[in-house]
Amino acid sequence: MKKNLLTMAMSMTVITALSGCIFNSSSGTVNTAPPAAPTPPPAATPVPNNITNPSGSYAISVFATNPTGSSKPDDIVPVQTAANSPDSAVFIAYQDRSNVDPMGNVPTGAPSGTVAQGQVVEYDLNGHILQTINVPGHIDGMLQNTTSDYHTLWVTSDEDANPKLSVINFSTSPATVTTYTADAASVSAVTVADPNNSSATSNVPLQHGGGLDDMKLIGTHVYVSASAPATTMTPSNPSTTLPYSTSWINGASCGTGTCGNGTVFGINQAVTGSTNTNGAIQYVITLNSGASNTYHVTPVVSTDGSTTQTTMLSNGTAQLTSNNSAILNATDADSTALDPNGDLWIDSQQDGELIHVSSINPANTTQTTSILPLTYGGISWSIDDFRWVPAVPTGATGNTFMLVTDTSSGYVYRIDASSGFTPGQVYAAAGNMITSVNMTTGVLTPVFINFQATHGLNFIVP
């Protein structure tokens, strides 16, 4: 789900041009074309020879390759039909991002007729395509929202600006897609430029300076990452007594790279020329009632602590030792995961750290945060999706397996553990690797290496 730090979305008039769709402008609902008959998975597509397994205790195979008309697989969401049921199918998002940027715009020079959309493809657990659903914009987050039923999928698009939320009813034939945009109270007064597009269309970010990314359902609330925040090198009131959460790596918030120009700070104080000052890294997102087709975001975790009633702690092993206070500095809130206790973890991707938010709630009265710096070979390392191996529900008949998307190659891989995956272990998509994660030290250990660019990762329990 990693993106460039600027992005944008197309206007609603673009949605009417979605290929294979019928758009009702009065309702904001898109009826996708009826699904075709299930298509077979690739016939024994070989795994590239360069992908190797350092440990020998895992097996890998190809689950799917880019369907015709789709590219850049990313997020993976298993489908359940009831609470605590085994998984019955899986959704995989295809971003087609060479022809739609993270602001939802079609880049200048794209092929004639290019539409700013991606696809959500439903597969059975053997890799057969069940249906393909067109979604406007640059897809970057998916959630099966089971608050009221088990046939609703929420999809976020355009993670750098103009963020959209598409709500899919995938039980109908054809599936229906209703797209929502941010209400006036959720957006910033500052527009941002799109370096990939010469259009004069304004690119409007949310309050924190960007868009939306990954989502998680906790209780009845949907929490969503505040993606691509505004950043600064000169906060108006920098701390002189406490370290920032990323200062353990020479003050640089740049993951596996180096800033080259000093520390980068998430916006948590007034910055010249900007009104993006709340520093949100996590929102609660709700749909507004009525016919407006808008959503509202409310900050629940921020970099300045104003919505997190706690001191910032670190359980890392570098300069921030156990239980040292620190200031949370998240410059790239991205993927999220739930641990076995139901707590939320946020991947601050560029910063090479995981943020643990315990007891998250919209009232912001009891939650606390702590930081786990991530390392591989002794250096800071960034990851994308990460997941705890889930417990096996009653009624499961097969072995738990992992699916991972290699976005650049277009392959979706299946990984099986020789002795089975152990519930509670953590795995991550880490650039050109799939790794296990030690949640005490933050050390990454390779499982498979030499991918092109891994992004989506999830476990399937059949």
Rounded Cα gap, residues 303 and 327, in angstroms: 8
Q: What is the pLDDT of residues 319-351, one digit of tens each?
A: 344 445 566 778 889 999 999 999 999 999 888
In the predicted model, is pLDDT for residue 366 greater than 90?
no
Pairing state of beta strands 176-182 and 294-302? Answer: parallel
Tens digits of residue pLDDT in 50-107:
999 998 899 999 999 999 989 999 999 999 999 999 999 999 999 986 778 889 888 8
pLDDT for res 259: 43
Please name each of the domains of the chain with its CATH number.
12-460 (2.120.10.30)
For 349, phi then psi, to 5°, come to: -65, -55
pTM over 0.75, yes/no: yes
| pLDDT, tens digit (0-9, with 9 covering 90-100), for 385-411 | 999 999 998 888 899 999 999 999 999
Calpha distance 215→224 (Å, rounded): 4
pLDDT digit string (tens) for 166-214? Answer: 999 999 999 999 999 999 999 988 888 887 776 667 899 998 889 999 9
The pLDDT mean for the chain works out to 81
Reported as a pLDDT band with limits 50, 70 and 90, residue 419 is very high
Lowest-confidence pick of 127-141, 257-271, 378-392: 257-271
19, pLDDT greater than 50: no
Distances (CA, A) of 198 to 160, 269, 358: 17, 31, 43
Q: What are the pLDDT digits (tens) for 147-162?
A: 999 999 999 999 999 9
b/e map 190-210, b = 16+ CB within 10 Å? eebebebbeeebebbbbbbbb
Chain segment 113-129, per-residue pLDDT in tens:
888 899 999 999 999 99
> Mind giving me the DSSP string for 300-337?
EEETTSTTS-S-EEE--SSSS-TTEEEB---S-EEEEE
Give every CB contact of residue 238 below 8 A, 6+ residues apart in sequence.
Answer: 265
Looking up tokens 């993927």, which residue turns up?
335
